Amino acid sequence: MTEKAVFDITQLPASFKKFLEDNDIDPAVYTVADLPRYIRTNTHVPLSRRPTLQDLKDQFETEQVIPVPGLQDFFSVQLGDKRISDISAYKEHAIFGIDLSSAIAVQALELQPDDQVLDLCCAPGAKLCMIANLLGKEGLGTATGVDLAAHRLATCRSLLKKYKVGEKVRLFEADGTTFSVLPPQRLGNRVICATDNEKKRQKTTVVKPFWASRLLRFDDQSRSGIGYDKVLVDAECTHDGSIAHILKVILNLTSIGVKVCSILLLFTM
């Protein structure tokens, strides 16, 4: 077995060390050799088709499938030679991968079934899938996802369709700093909130969604005066996946004898 390269944290550039210190990040996170992967049960799947903990252990062929405290239906997995995409629960869309820190951000919203949720920087879509799971199917809650890049929103749309969790979701290609579309007024034939008729007549511009479910596709965006109940801004590169990415770059460069300081400096620029 090839010995893994070890990253020497003393070689971090001064600018990067200052960034970590300013943001209260322990540099030791970059010495982790084996990060677990995280998965969530897709609770839109009927209960009879959801994998149990033992099912997951059997499919991953390891006992290192551990429920994460405080996050229901959420597990850490030390994959070994297996990939998440190898197991039947994934192929049957009964689980999906999501970073732990992203899941914690969603959990912090304390979502209720009737909440109107705005997810800025929503792509690639795992957080939206979890939001949809937590809103459930019965309430009037909806999720509105916003992202700048159309190709990333396309990935988001694909995930929502793949896991069949998008019936109460709509997506907009927009700049989150200027996005002004209010929550939908109706969910299919159910009224979320009555609209002030006078303000409704003043509405002149309708922003076309990048994609919307059948239940939200024809919302006339006439709801006025009431904003979103919960807003999530969990921008890209704020998650544990970035550590895995940096580690991969560091170890690959170290293995061929290239100094890593210059590449780490790029992450601070």
Shared domain for 149 and 176, answered yes or no, is yes
Tens-place pLDDT, residues 49-106: 999 999 999 999 999 999 999 999 999 999 888 899 999 999 999 999 999 989 999 9
124 in any annotated domain: yes
For the chain, what is the domain count? 2
Whether the Cβ atoms of residue 142 and residue 183 lie closer than 8 Å to each other: yes
Residue 22 covered by a domain: no
Stretch among 75-79, 84-88, 169-173, 260-264 having the lowest mean pLDDT: 260-264
Residue ending a domain, choose from 218, 233, 248 = 233
Based on the domain organization, do 123 and 144 belong to the same domain? Answer: yes
**126 and 87 share one domain:** no
* HEC letters along 29-79: HHHCCCCCEEEEECCCCCHHHCCCHHHHHHHHCCCCEEECCCCCCEEEECC
Interatomic CA distance for residues 264 and 244, integer angstroms? 13
Question: Rounded to an integer, what distance in angstroms lies between the CA atom of residue 192 and that of residue 5?
Answer: 56
Q: Are strands 230-233 and 116-120 parallel, antiparallel or unpaired?
A: parallel
* Residues 113 and 229 placed together within one structural domain of the fold: yes
Residue 93's domain comprises 36-97
Domain CATH number, residue 135 = 3.40.50
136 exposure class (CB count in 10 Å sphere: 0-12, 13-18, 19+): middle
Same structural domain for residues 222 and 137?
yes
The verdict on residue 49 lying in a domain is: yes
pLDDT average, residue stretch 10-28: 85
Better-predicted residue by pLDDT, 27 or 139: 139
Rounded to two decimals, the pTM is 0.81
**In whole angstroms, what is the distance from residue 205 CA to residue 225 CA?**
16
Token pair, residue 76, equals 């850490």
**Stronger pLDDT, 252 or 25, i.e. the higher one:** 25
